[in-house]
Amino acid sequence: MAKILEKRLIRQPDVFYYKIAAPLVSRKASPGQFVIIRLHEKGERIPLSLADINPAEGTISLIVMAVGKTTSELSGYEAGEEILDLCGPLGMPTHVEQIGRLFLSAAGSAWPRSIP
């Protein structure tokens, strides 16, 4: 089980930030990888991209837009609650050269402000 340590609404009404205790995942994860979560025994498995990795804290962060069944259900979870299954890190890490600034762009809704 993976405990939700922090939950914040970052865009009304449906975009949430989650900090999750996942020490093993945080030690092995690299930028560009993802995890698969399952909320409960009857839940579906869904992939979610890692938004942040903090091996020192043993945490990962996810940014989730509540658009489907499972992400909408996850939006009802609060800090202190647990996710039944968290599998990862999965996928190929993104290779990033240390040559200067990096700009990443992704599809999806426009963000009205930066994420603190």
pLDDT digits (tens, 9 = 90+) for 8-20: 999 889 999 999 9
pTM comes to 0.81
Asked whether residue 113 is domain-assigned, the answer is no
DSSP string, 74-112: HTT--TT-EESEEEEEESPPPP--SSS------SSSPPS
Asked whether residue 14 is domain-assigned, the answer is yes
What pLDDT, on the 0 to 100 scale, is given for residue 43? Answer: 94
Q: Is the pLDDT of residue 111 over 70?
A: no
Asked whether residue 112 is domain-assigned, the answer is no
Asked whether residue 107 is domain-assigned, the answer is no
Asked whether residue 103 is domain-assigned, the answer is no
**Residue numbers of the domain that contains 45:** 2-90
- Give the three-class secondary structure for 72: helix
Asked whether residue 109 is domain-assigned, the answer is no
Q: What is the CATH number of the domain that holds 27?
A: 2.40.30.10
Asked whether residue 33 is domain-assigned, the answer is yes
How many domains, in total, are found in the chain? 1
